[in-house]
Structure 1
Amino acid sequence: MGWDWFTDPGYWASRLLFQRLLAALYLVAFLATALQFRALLGEHGMLPVPRFVRRVPFRRAPSLFHWRYSDRLFATVAWAGVVVAAALVLGLFDRTPVWATMLAWLVPWLLYQSIVNVGQIWYSFGWESLLLEVGFLAIFLGPADTAPPVLVLWLLRWVLFRLEFGAGLIKLRGDECWRDLTCLYYHHETQPMPGPLSWYFHHLPKPLHRVEAAASHFTQLVAPFALFAPQPVAGAAALLMILTQLWLVASGNFSWLNFLTITLAVSVVDSSVVGLPVPELAQPPVWHQALVIGLTVLVVVLSYRPARNLVSRRQVMNTSFDRLHLVNTYGAFGSVTKVRHEIVIEATDDPVLTGDTVWREYEFKGKPGDPRRRPPQFAPYHLRLDWLMWFAALSTRYAQSWLPALAEKLLAADPATLKLLRHDPFDGARPTYLRAQLYRYRFTTPRERRETGAWWVREARGPALRTARLGADGTVIAVD
């Protein structure tokens, strides 16, 4: 009998596509880090890594930055991740020995682990842990000229099951609008980062919104069980999930969450479903088979708490139960916001505030601001500050650790912070005063859209941040 049971050549094509897609998402993740970290986490950032590692020990947040931190080192780690991920996208390790392929996949996992574990609130999103969990399993898939290990393929299905089923349960247990199928009346308008087509999705007929909600329930609560059925049932369930995720990609910006879910679903589809011939593939070495068995035992043990969380009435979402993010729990939109609010940051360069002071707005790259600007497409790229601004508009408790620091950076015209914005109304000069206003946003109706050309209508709701100036010592001083 030997080890023939250990591999299934029928998944060689899906394994190859899975690896390419995952490597591309790694590349996006490292690129977003390289281009944004200085303002967010750098030595002079809003939440500096050096301050974090002094407060949090290595055992709670394993990272190479506990050994040493500098902005140059962080940039080196991020750009090294970009280079390795690009090499994996190009397939440069497809035909190397198994140990070399494993090492190539281990490097981005270790580097991104170090980043996420010191990333604080900027890296608190569920797709960070998902990338690390899936990336860890990818280490053991082997190169293109060996047969894919069945156990790793099943572990990927287990991730996909928890991802989809957990999201379905959190909805069913959460907002009543998921149970009466009305959540999509609001979601396309109030989601964190609307996309170019979100306005059109929002204005779909309400019966179609109810169909959307019902289809979501079926895909997340029923179809996941079919992932463990024989082919072609498992492949059909995966294809349904891919279609659902493409719908979500078209309707909004959710970083790489939808793309990574599609990547996972690809690993479920065997070559017979798409009619591809299977080439001659070598069996992986015995030591690799032993490692895969050890990996499987480890994941089974670590799955106890996430599995218990799934069936718990107090289900939590997007939580890691181990320091290395090896087996996590996921979920999204257990409650749906019915009304959209946005924080609009304004400043002036007038030396003295008067009733005639003109306030000028800072424009963010992704989040709604100018009502006449169409929501842009950024996913799978992740605009971390824009996402946190959405949470800040929900409640100031989400922004206590960083919003005052953002105000300070804008008053100081910090170049790294200004690079995170789409438009600086002062062209790099320092403003004298800054404030933040809370607005109620809603999509225009089709008639309003035709008449005004605007995508949004907004109404002021009051101050979100007190008017402030920069003191002589560089600290923010409230003036009202």
Structure 2
Amino acid sequence: MDWFDAEGYTVAREVVQRGVAAVYVVAFVAVLRQFRPLLGERGLLPVPAFTARVPFRASPSLFHRWYSDRLVVAVGATGVLVAVSLVAGVPQSGPPWAPLAAFGLLWVLYLSVVNVGQVFYGFGWESLLLEAGFLVAFLGSRVVAPPLPVLVLLWWLVLRVELGAGLIKMRGDTAWRDLTALDFHHQTQPMPGPLSRLFHLLPRPVHRAEVLANHVTQLVVPFGLLVPGTVASTAAAVMVVTQLWLVLSGNFAWLNWLTIVLACSAVDDATWARVLGPAGVDLGARPPAAAPAWWVVVVLVVTAVCAWLSRHPLRNLVSRHQRMNASFNAWHLANAYGAFGTVTRRRTEVVVEGTLDADPDAATWHAYEFRGKPTDVRRLPRQVAPYHLRLDWGMWFLALGSSAQLRWFLPLLGRLLEADRPTLRLLADDPFDGDPPRWVRARLFGYRFATRAERRASRARWVRHETGTLVGPVDAAALARHLRTA
């Protein structure tokens, strides 16, 4: 079975399984903290209303049979506990079916969440986590060697992530082709981080070099993963460095961290030994037992299924009409990936305000501060990734003019008028300390990073100007009437 066993990738298996499990911990913590106010029984987009109109076969989920907020808590808590056990390496110490069962449970639970999550879970990294969790389940435990077919599937996954992102950029926007994309992107990305302004203020030749390096990393380097050994390990190292650069320059939930973990699947034990020393690769010193026949059969069947499903993303990669972050089946396996095919040139923010005054025309208005998105021009953007602030990301899409986001934004205003405590906990600050405002409104502002001179003069990190009104002053009664007739 020399062709089946990849005995030189025991450290890679350890890193990938524990790393993917760590991302699942973050994902299920977000379920516990955010799912109910966003999608629960009194959420902005309630799951029961979704499952009533969307059949199970189109969006398979445990919640199709029965939904309750208590069940969501049980799913989230179970996911955290199982994922923590995998981070600790407990199932990996048992037979091959133990990590298979643990990751399989995580996949089923998180698939159930994603498939009813609607726009709040409509991100490419949700599918990436599901596909990664499914594949690493078949890497087995320490008693057998990592199966080479599963490692190849992981390398194919990383290639799709990087190559898909590179091709969508080249096909989607001239700013990527003329190397000017990062003149805008650091400033207009959905969730700037604490260093994003410094990246934006770098000289333009540096921005050109950033874009060029990105193209090389995404369009050329991924093919090196298919040459096991030093070439693949070097390609993985280049991708890790590039992803860490993205981690420093912005907040993209767990996309970058998960890509780093998956890229490590291509690093062989010999390379780990050179980097970490012999003590860091002692797992590779113990020869595993021969893989049992049932395990070989299971792995080969799964490999064949995944290879067959991969025809869709392969066609997508070579298509002139490439789709970005697309799932071709309801199980989120063999997906298409990509990001920022179009670069936003100007940043618009929706600023939500409320007042306790009776007359909205003569009122003193106070802004609600969100946890991640910019509002206060003096506030330093936070580092929140790998955690995912779903409401804040939705506000970015809302500001772009996405009509799909209005379906939850108007209910959000209603929750603010009620001073709904679960909803307020999604925000960084309630200017009314739990009291319900009399009126709320939503204004539009253009934002840009302050120059160094502007920062010295005003201490502000952003400069903004009002561009319009999204929702004028509205009270609870008027909003309730509008929602009933909508």
Fold conserved (TM > 0.5)? yes
Cα distance, 1:233 vs structure 2: 0.5
Greater share of helix: 2
Cα distance, 1:284 vs structure 2: 2.4
SS at match of 1:254: coil
Amino acid at match of 1:378: V
* Distance across 2 between alignment mates of 1:213 and 1:91: 38
Amino acid at match of 2:106: P
Contact 1:408/1:475, CA 8 A, preserved across alignment: no
Moved over 4 A (4+): 472-478
Confirm whether residue 471 of structure 1 aligns to residue 477 of structure 2: yes
Call closer, same or farther: CA 1:378–1:200 in 2, change over 3 Å.
same
Cα distance per residue 1:293-323 (max 9 Å; x no partner):
1111101110111110110000010010011
* Distance across 2 between alignment mates of 1:339 and 1:257: 24
Contact 1:234/1:268, CA 8 A, preserved across alignment: yes
1:358 maps to which residue? 364
Amino acid at match of 1:96: G
* Distance across 2 between alignment mates of 1:101 and 1:173: 40
* Distance across 2 between alignment mates of 1:299 and 1:99: 19
1:372 maps to which residue? 378
Cα distance, 1:407 vs structure 2: 0.8
Amino acid at match of 1:119: G
Cα distance per residue 1:259-288 (max 9 Å; x no partner):
010011011100111224522212221111
SS at match of 1:464: strand
Confirm whether residue 287 of structure 1 aligns to residue 294 of structure 2: yes
Q: 2:449 aligns with which of 413, 438, 443?
A: 443
1:315 maps to which residue? 322
* Distance across 2 between alignment mates of 1:15 and 1:130: 18
SS at match of 1:461: strand
Cα distance, 1:47 vs structure 2: 0.3
* Distance across 1 between alignment mates of 2:238 and 2:174: 25
Q: 1:256 aligns with which of 254, 257, 267?
A: 254
Matches within 5 A, 1:443-462: 443-462=449-468
1:394 maps to which residue? 400
Alignment TM-score, normalising by the size of structure 1: 0.97
Q: 1:151 aligns with which of 149, 152, 167?
A: 149
Cα distance per residue 1:5-42 (max 9 Å; x no partner):
21111100011011111110000000011100111000
* Distance across 2 between alignment mates of 1:140 and 1:470: 53
1:43 maps to which residue? 41
Q: 1:30 aligns with which of 28, 31, 39?
A: 28
1:165 maps to which residue? 163
* Distance across 1 between alignment mates of 2:338 and 2:479: 44
Call closer, same or farther: CA 1:400–1:39 in 2, change over 3 Å.
same
Contact 1:142/1:284, CA 8 A, preserved across alignment: no
Contact 1:219/1:241, CA 8 A, preserved across alignment: yes
Stretch of structure 1 that moved more, 444-453 or 428-437: 444-453
1:417 maps to which residue? 423
1:15 maps to which residue? 13
Contact 2:11/2:272, CA 8 A, preserved across alignment: no
* Distance across 1 between alignment mates of 2:429 and 2:228: 53
Alignment TM-score, normalising by the size of structure 2: 0.96
* Distance across 2 between alignment mates of 1:237 and 1:378: 28
Contact 1:471/1:477, CA 8 A, preserved across alignment: no
Call closer, same or farther: CA 1:230–1:24 in 2, change over 3 Å.
closer
RMSD of the alignment, in Å? Answer: 1.3
Fraction of identical pairs, as percent = 53
Stretch of structure 1 that moved more, 445-454 or 427-436: 445-454
* Distance across 1 between alignment mates of 2:292 and 2:474: 65
Cα distance per residue 1:232-254 (max 9 Å; x no partner):
10111111000000000000000
1:129 maps to which residue? 127
1:185 maps to which residue? 183
Confirm whether residue 430 of structure 1 aligns to residue 428 of structure 2: no
Unpaired segments ≥5 residues, structure 1: none
1:140 maps to which residue? 138
1:338 maps to which residue? 345
Stretch of structure 1 that moved more, 95-104 or 187-196: 95-104
Contact 1:195/1:253, CA 8 A, preserved across alignment: yes
1:381 maps to which residue? 387
* Distance across 2 between alignment mates of 1:181 and 1:406: 39
Cα distance, 1:399 vs structure 2: 1.4
* Distance across 1 between alignment mates of 2:135 and 2:453: 51
Contact 2:443/2:468, CA 8 A, preserved across alignment: yes
Confirm whether residue 75 of structure 1 aligns to residue 73 of structure 2: yes
Cα distance per residue 1:177-223 (max 9 Å; x no partner):
10110100110000000001001100111101000000000000011
* Distance across 2 between alignment mates of 1:312 and 1:30: 35
Amino acid at match of 2:399: A
* Distance across 1 between alignment mates of 2:372 and 2:316: 34
1:297 maps to which residue? 304
Contact 2:254/2:387, CA 8 A, preserved across alignment: yes
* Distance across 2 between alignment mates of 1:467 and 1:327: 46
Confirm whether residue 408 of structure 1 aligns to residue 406 of structure 2: no
* Distance across 2 between alignment mates of 1:230 and 1:295: 22
* Distance across 1 between alignment mates of 2:115 and 2:447: 34
* Distance across 2 between alignment mates of 1:141 and 1:159: 14
* Distance across 2 between alignment mates of 1:433 and 1:147: 63
Call closer, same or farther: CA 1:475–1:358 in 2, change over 3 Å.
same
* Distance across 2 between alignment mates of 1:465 and 1:284: 63
